[in-house]
Amino acid sequence: MGLALLPDGKRLLISMVGAGETPHSAFQDIESSAVSPVGSAGRYVPSFAGRLSPGPSPDGKYCVLTNDKNHYWLQPLDGGDAREIKSVNPGDLMVEWHEDSNNLFVSRFLGADVESYNLNLTTGERKLWTRFSPSDKTAIAGNTWVLITPDGANYAYQVQRIYSILFLADGLR
């Protein structure tokens, strides 16, 4: 499903699912290839297109886990107890860490529009960071995605469009 290199450069954080299994996450030591689980059973690091979303925190101390039921936890990577992130609303998706290990970009998809918020993990405060909206909403199919760099200086916003051509034939037999 997805993987990311931890800031120490010695371990990978992996999110995976096998046939008939529930998704789960693990560390893999690059030198020894040893694998150890991350977090509780039934929780895993969310991913999109082979990329963990979000990956490990900038300081390498945390990751975000989900159970795919709109619940998220901040999991210490040293093996301590996870803390539920309470300020997540139904439909929110974690996108990226923002500046440090205490803030996340969280996005809410509203058809072709996307609202992205800065979520402070300590206070639970959400502030609207920006709203993405295409100027032309013709033929939008609903596959929308956003990527934001941790410093917020750059982003990519994707909207899928499906165009069709209708032909009218008269007098065919």
Which tokens in the block code for residue 134?
């295409």
The number of domains in the chain is: 2
Residues 29 and 66 in one domain: yes
Beta strands in 30-154 (DSSP E): 35-37, 47-48, 50-52, 62-66, 72-76, 83-84, 92-97, 103-110, 113-120, 126-132, 140-148
| Residue where a domain stops, chosen among 65, 85, 105 | 85
| Residue where a domain stops, chosen among 85, 115, 143 | 85
pLDDT at residue number 140: 81
Residues 98 and 167 in one domain: yes
pLDDT at residue number 59: 92
Residues 93 and 134 in one domain: yes
21-48 confidence digits (pLDDT tens): 778 899 899 999 999 889 888 899 988 7
- Residue 168 C-alpha from the chain's centroid: 44
pLDDT at residue number 144: 76
Structural domain of 71 = 1-85
Low-confidence ranges of the chain (pLDDT < 70): 49, 142-143
